[in-house]
Structure 1
Amino acid sequence: MQDIKNALIKRLSLFLPELPVYDESVEQGMQQPCFFVLLMESSQVREVNRRYKRFHPFDVHYFPDRAAAAPREDCELMAERLYSEIEYIRGAEGGYRGTGMRHEIVDGVLHFFVQYNFHILREREPEIKMQTMTERSGIK
Structure 2
Amino acid sequence: MITFKDIKDAVTLKLSTEFSNIKVYDEEIRQGFSPPAFFIELIPVNTIRTNFFTKNPTLIVDVQYFAKEENNDELYDMADSLERSFKFCIQVKDRVLTIVKIEYEIVDFVLHFQISLNYLVSIREEVETEENIKPMRKLHFKEGMGK
Per the normalisation by structure 1, the TM-score is 0.81
Secondary structure at 1:57 match in 2: strand
Structure-1 residue corresponding to 2:6: 3
Counterpart-to-counterpart distance in 2, 1:47 and 1:130: 23
Deviation at 1:48, TM superposition (A): 3.0
* Matches of 2:13 and 2:62, distance apart in 1: 15
Cα distance, 1:130 vs structure 2: 7.5
**For structure 1, which runs of at least 5 residues remain unmatched after alignment?**
132-140
- Give deviations 1:64-121, integer Å, cap 9, x for gaps: 012x6xx100000111111120232212242222222111111111111111221012
Aligned residues: 128
Kindly name which structure, 1 or 2, has the bigger radius of gyration based on alpha carbons: 1
Query: Using a 3 Å threshold, how does the CA distance of structure 1 residues 130 and 99 change in structure 2: closer, same or farther?
Result: closer
Q: Distance in 2 between matches of 1:22 and 1:104?
A: 19
Q: Which residue matches 1:16?
A: 19
TM-score by length of structure 2 reads 0.78
Evaluate the alpha carbon distance shift between residue 49 and residue 65 of structure 1 in structure 2; reply closer, same or farther with a 3 A threshold.
same
Is 1:86 aligned to 2:79, yes or no? no
- The RMSD of aligned alpha carbons is 1.9
Q: Distance in 1 between the 2:31 and 2:80 partners?
A: 29
Structure 2 unaligned residues grouped into runs of 5+: 138-147
Q: Does 1:73 align with 2:76?
A: no
In structure 2, what is the Cα distance between the partners aligned to 1:42 and 1:2?
A: 15
Structure 1 runs (4+) deviating above 3 angstroms are: 126-131
Amino acid at match of 1:21: V
Say whether 1:63 aligns with 2:66.
Answer: yes
Moved more, 43-52 or 11-20: 43-52
Equivalent pairs: percent with the same residue? 28
